[in-house]
Amino acid sequence: MADDTLLFSLKLSLQVAAIATVFVMVVGLSAAYLLSRKNFPGKELLDILLTLPLVLPPTVTGYYLIVLFGRNGLFGRHLYAWTGWSIMFTWYAAVLASFVVALPLMVKTARAAIESVDENLIRASYTLGHSEYWTALKVILPLAKKGIIAGTILSFARAMGEFGATLMIAGNIPGRTNTMPLAIYSAAGSGDRSQATVMVIVFTLISGLFLYIANKLSRRIL
């Protein structure tokens, strides 16, 4: 019994965090690029919206996610009407929660990294006949690598540790949505000290291992 929960929740946590991080990288890098290199109406507002999940408590973020994606939510109700499916209480909701709370970390670090790229290099690329897209890919991104990698590591770590918003929209359903933080919460709450202790130790070791690998990799890439 205990092994089932441990293995399942560990696997789920890694899966959710990995997928959320992929989305965070795609959306986060695009947003960071837009915010650092473009001017458009509503830019300030977008910046604030993207940073909010960083300053709001996860439960507030979770509440907003319910308002938007719950079965009766702003978007959720249309999805339910078309497909008969709701994201609530599924592991996809856990991915969504992790994505939302980790996104600001990526946007902030990537933006700083992109802004630190020497403008002359970007201008040089344009004069050498290249498009904005090509320049972003071949000049800006490689030179902003450090910040982007830091952002990715932070995002993954945040996603792994997500609890509050996840509990609210994915629920704590054993065998389906109980990521490790949720499983530990259940075990501790129902007095199952031994299971909680085992999970806590495993989670700490895995996190430590992740940091070790991340450090090694970033040193190799940089």
Amino acid at 59: T
Q: Using DSSP, state whether 208 is helix, strand or coil.
A: helix
Burial (Cβ within 10 Å: 0-12, 13-18, ≥19) of residue 47: middle
Rounded to a whole number of angstroms, the minimum distance from the CB of residue 167 to another protein is 8
Rounded to a whole number of angstroms, the minimum distance from the CB of residue 39 to another protein is 15
> For residues 49 and 121, which CB has a smaller minimum distance to another protein in the complex?
121
Footprint of another protein on this chain (CB under 8 A)?
Answer: 66, 70-72, 84, 86, 88-89, 118, 120-121, 123-131, 134, 138-139, 142-143, 171-174, 186, 188-192
Taking phi first (over 0 means left), then psi (-120 to 50 degrees means alpha), and beta for anything else, what does residue 38 get?
Answer: beta
Q: What whole-number distance in Å separates Cα of residue 5 and Cα of residue 203?
A: 13
> For residues 66 and 107, which CB has a smaller minimum distance to another protein in the complex?
66
Rounded to a whole number of angstroms, the minimum distance from the CB of residue 114 to another protein is 14
> For residues 130 and 157, which CB has a smaller minimum distance to another protein in the complex?
130
Residue of 85, 106, 88 whose CA lies nearest to 96: 88
Rounded to a whole number of angstroms, the minimum distance from the CB of residue 208 to another protein is 28
Structure tokens, 58: 């996860």
> For residues 4 and 118, which CB has a smaller minimum distance to another protein in the complex?
118
